[in-house]
């Protein structure tokens, strides 16, 4: 697909993003690319200041930037309020979404007679759909997927290869689940019996809301009782584990390798950055942010940003980090402190000796 930059600018304005061209609005754009790899006919973007050094040398025909970015000589810019959101829209405009093959219901799929499949489904070979499953319209299910008995799934489902959805789980509309992810496996539920562990049956389910996307190789445990919930609009990266009975609110962002233990309540629009670990039975409030590699061991208040192990409010943790950086110098001072104290004590003793009254042994002593 090819569009002039002026046409793309108009498109962004139609989507509610204020935008303006500086340079050649007639240049034709064929694709989106990075600043480093872009060529003539490509459009790129700058949303992170760390990549500013690549701007002057890019070969892109145009670059999406914010209103404050300085313009290199000869480079055409498309200025707008939100460069990252703008390039996302432009990628869809220029490239479209991933195209999925139209296979209908492949004869090699195993679909139980009691299962209900909506209109316009594309179910590939080696898919297994168990009894009493209900799937909405326009499902796209790739090879190796399994949907267990009694599951209910909404419209526009996309399951990439080898996704497993255990019995009884509920999946909303427009949900995407990437390869290798498991929904509804048993949680870590064991009761101690002497020195052994007695398994606790996990009889709950997982419920996933609308417009959720879950990355590859994730695991979402079914609840012991009740539901594990991933609410509408939440996005999850790869290699994420969600414990049994945890409830993740609307429009959260969970980054790769995050792990959330059981019975956690995560509010709305919460961000858990990469490799975050969260202990069980705590609450993370709405709009909170947990920085990368943080270990959350207690409740996090709404709107708070925390980091560190254990996770603490960001200002407090930054002060601690700054103090830690000074410890080597402080230690060197402390090592020399005993010698300095001893020297001061010796000087003080000498001074006391010099000011002591002299002995009176002469004739005047009898006066």
Specify whether 341 is located in the same domain as 277: no
Q: Which of 63, 95, 127 marks a domain boundary?
A: 95
Residue 50 domain-assigned (yes or no)? yes
The pLDDT value recorded for residue 364 is: 52
The pLDDT value recorded for residue 313 is: 86
Closest CA to 29 of 94, 96, 97: 94
Residue 103 domain-assigned (yes or no)? no
Residue 111 domain-assigned (yes or no)? no
Specify whether 227 is located in the same domain as 339: no
Is 30 one of the annotated active-site residues of the chain?
no
The pLDDT value recorded for residue 358 is: 58
Instruction: Provide the CATH number for the domain around residue 89.
Output: 3.40.1390.10
The pLDDT value recorded for residue 221 is: 98
Residue 122 domain-assigned (yes or no)? no
Specify whether 321 is located in the same domain as 240: no
The pLDDT value recorded for residue 356 is: 61
Closest CA to 206 of 248, 174, 235, 176: 248
What global pTM score does this model have?
0.83
Residues with Cβ within 8 Å of 40's Cβ and at least 6 positions away in sequence, in order, are 59, 61
Residue 29 domain-assigned (yes or no)? yes
CA 38 – CA 35 distance, rounded (Å) = 6
Burial label for 135, CB within 10 Å (0-12, 13-18, 19+), is buried
pLDDT tens per residue, range 255-298: 999 999 999 999 999 999 999 999 999 999 999 999 999 999 99
Q: Which parts of the chain sit beneath pLDDT 70?
A: 1, 355-367
Residue 85 domain-assigned (yes or no)? yes
Specify whether 193 is located in the same domain as 327: no
Residue 125 domain-assigned (yes or no)? no
Specify whether 225 is located in the same domain as 326: no
Specify whether 230 is located in the same domain as 274: yes
Say if strands 77-80 and 62-65 run parallel, antiparallel, or are unpaired. Answer: parallel
Give the number of domains in the chain. 3
CA 277 – CA 296 distance, rounded (Å) = 6
Specify whether 215 is located in the same domain as 273: yes
The whole domain housing 297 covers 163-310
CA 267 – CA 57 distance, rounded (Å) = 43
Instruction: Identify the bridge partners of residue 123 per DSSP, sorted by sequence position.
Output: 105, 141
The pLDDT value recorded for residue 326 is: 83
The pLDDT value recorded for residue 125 is: 97
Specify whether 299 is located in the same domain as 330: no
Specify whether 272 is located in the same domain as 225: yes
Residue 178 domain-assigned (yes or no)? yes
CA 227 – CA 42 distance, rounded (Å) = 47
Closest CA to 5 of 32, 37, 39: 32
Per annotation, catalytic residue among 30, 100, 173, 244: 244
């Amino acid at each position: 697909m090819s569009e002039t930059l002026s046409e793309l600018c108009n498109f962004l304005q139609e989507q509610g993003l204020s935008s303006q061209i500086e340079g050649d609005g007639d240049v034709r754009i064929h694709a989106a690319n990075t600043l480093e790899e872009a060529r003539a006919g490509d459009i790129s973007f700058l949303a992170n200041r760390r990549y500013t050094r690549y701007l002057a040398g890019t070969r892109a025909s145009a670059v999406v930037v914010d209103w404050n970015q300085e313009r290199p000589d000869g480079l055409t810019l498309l200025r707008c309020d939100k460069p990252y959101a703008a390039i996302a829209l432009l990628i869809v405009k220029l490239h479209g979404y991933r195209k999925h093959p139209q296979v209908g219901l492949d004869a090699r799929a195993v679909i139980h007679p009691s299962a209900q499949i909506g209109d316009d489904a594309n179910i590939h070979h080696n898919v297994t759909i168990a009894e009493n499953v209900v799937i909405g319209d326009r499902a796209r299910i790739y090879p190796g997927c399994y949907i267990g008995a009694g599951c209910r799934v909404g419209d526009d489902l996309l399951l990439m290869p080898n996704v497993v959805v255990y019995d009884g789980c509920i999946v909303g509309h427009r949900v995407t689940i990437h390869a290798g992810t498991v929904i509804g496996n048993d949680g870590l539920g064991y009761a101690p019996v002497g020195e052994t562990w007695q398994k606790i049956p996990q009889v709950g389910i997982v419920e996933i809301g609308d417009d959720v996307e879950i990355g590859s190789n994730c695991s979402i445990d079914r609840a012991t009782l009740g539901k594990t919930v991933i609410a509408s609009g939440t996005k999850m990266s790869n290699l994420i584990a969600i414990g049994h009975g945890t409830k993740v609110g609307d429009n959260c962002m969970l980054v790769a390798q995050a792990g959330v233990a059981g019975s956690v309540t995560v509010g709305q629009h919460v961000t858990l950055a990469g490799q975050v670990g969260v202990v069980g039975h705590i609450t993370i409030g709405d709009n909170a942010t947990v920085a990368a590699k943080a270990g959350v061991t207690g409740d996090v208040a709404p709107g708070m940003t925390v980091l560190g192990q254990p996770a603490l409010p960001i200002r407090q943790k930054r002060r601690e980090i700054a103090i830690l950086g000074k410890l080597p110098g402080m230690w060197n001072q402390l090592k020399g402190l005993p010698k300095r104290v001893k020297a001061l004590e010796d000087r003080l003793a000498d001074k006391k000796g010099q000011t002591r009254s002299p002995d009176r042994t002469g004739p005047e002593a009898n006066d």
